[in-house]
Amino acid sequence: MPAHIAMPISAIRNPLIVVTNDDGIASPGLRAAVRAALPLGELLVVAPDRQWSGAGRSMSRGPGGRISRSPLEVDGQTVTAYQVDASPASVVLHALLELTPRRPALLISGINYGENLGTDVTISGTVGAALQGAALGIPALAASLQTPKETHTSPSDNVDFTAAIHFTRLFARRLLTTSLPFDVDLLKLDVPSDATPETPWRLTRVSRHVYFVPIPPQRAMAEQATPPLVGGAGGGAPPLVGGAG
C-alpha cells in the first residue's frame, strides 16, 4: 500500500469519515455504522442506491453512476448522504473522486447483514468497498454482523446492532490513531449474533477455508439457477478482526 497510510493521523481534529455499504442506502445496518462513527468526526455517507450483496470489488459498467442527495437523520443529527447507481466499489470511487471535500481519514463499510469469513471475503461487496478505499490509500474497516440467512439480501429492522456498533466504533477509533502494518490492507470485523459489548475480541488473519459451501442448483426452479450458498458457523465465537493482506 502507499507509504502515506503508515503516517499517524491522530493530530486531525475533525477527521472526515466516509461510510458506505453493499446493502444499499436504506439499510438499517448503514444507519448503525453511522451511529458508530458519529462521535469520531465529520461523516459523509455514500452508498449504493439498492442491494449489491455479493458484488465483491466489481466495477459498474454502462451508463450508471447517477448520484442523488439522500440525507440521513441519525440520533437527531442530519448526516450528509448520497446514493449512487453503482456497485459498492464504484460507489467508493465516486465518493473519493467527486464528493469528498478533503482527503478522508477513514472509510467504514457496513454494517453488513451476515458474516463475511474465510475465502468468501472476495465475494463480499462490503469487503470490496473497503478494499477499493484501501487501494487508494484510505485506512478502511469492513464491519459485518452475523444475522439469519434470510436477512442477507433483505435487511430487517428486527436486528440488534448494539454489539456491532460498539465494536465498529472501537476499531474505527483505533484506525484513526494507529496505522496498519505495511502488509495489511484493511481491518475486517465480524461480530457474532450473540455478542455483547463485553464480549472479548480476537485479532487474527483471514482464514483460507471456505465458509459458505455452494450446492448444486435446482434447475426446475428458475429462481435457484445460481448455486445457493449454505452453511456457516453458529454463535458463541468472539468477534473476529481480520487483517486482509
Question: Which CATH number belongs to the domain containing residue 221 in this structure?
Answer: 3.40.1210.10
Domain containing 82 equals 11-244
End-to-end C-alpha distance for the chain, whole angstroms: 10
Does residue 3 fall inside a structural domain?
no
Does residue 177 fall inside a structural domain?
yes
Does residue 127 fall inside a structural domain?
yes
Does residue 95 fall inside a structural domain?
yes
Three-state SS letters, the chain:
CCHHHHCCCCCCCCCEEEEECCCCCCCHHHHHHHHHHHHHCEEEEEEECCCCCCCCCCCCCCCCCCEEECCEEECCEEECEEEECCCHHHHHHHHHHHHCCCCCCEEEEEEEECCCCHHHHHCCHHHHHHHHHHHCCCCEEEEEECCCHHHCCCCCCCCCCHHHHHHHHHHHHHHHHCCCCCCCCEEEEEECCCCCCCCCCEEEECCCCCCCEECCCCCCCHHHCCCCEECCCCCCCCCEEEEEC
170's grid cell: 472501537
Per-residue model confidence (pLDDT) at position 235: 42
Per-residue model confidence (pLDDT) at position 52: 86
Distances from the Cα of 232 to the Cαs of 14, 117, 127, 182, 201, in angstroms?
39, 9, 18, 31, 19
Q: CA nearest 146: which of 125, 130, 161?
A: 161
Give the position of cell 472526515.
16
> Is the CB of residue 98 less than 8 Å from the CB of residue 67?
yes
> Over the chain (245 residues), what is each successive 10-residue block's mean pLDDT?
39 87 95 97 96 84 86 94 96 96 96 88 93 97 91 81 97 95 92 95 86 74 60 49 50
What's the total number of domains in the chain?
A: 1
Q: Which residues of 1-39 are buried (b: 16+ CB within 10 A; e: fewer)?
A: beeebeeebeeeeebbbbbbbbbbbebbbbbbbbbbbbe
Tell me which amino acid residue 20 is. Answer: T
Does residue 6 fall inside a structural domain?
no
Does residue 34 fall inside a structural domain?
yes
Does residue 4 fall inside a structural domain?
no
Does residue 5 fall inside a structural domain?
no
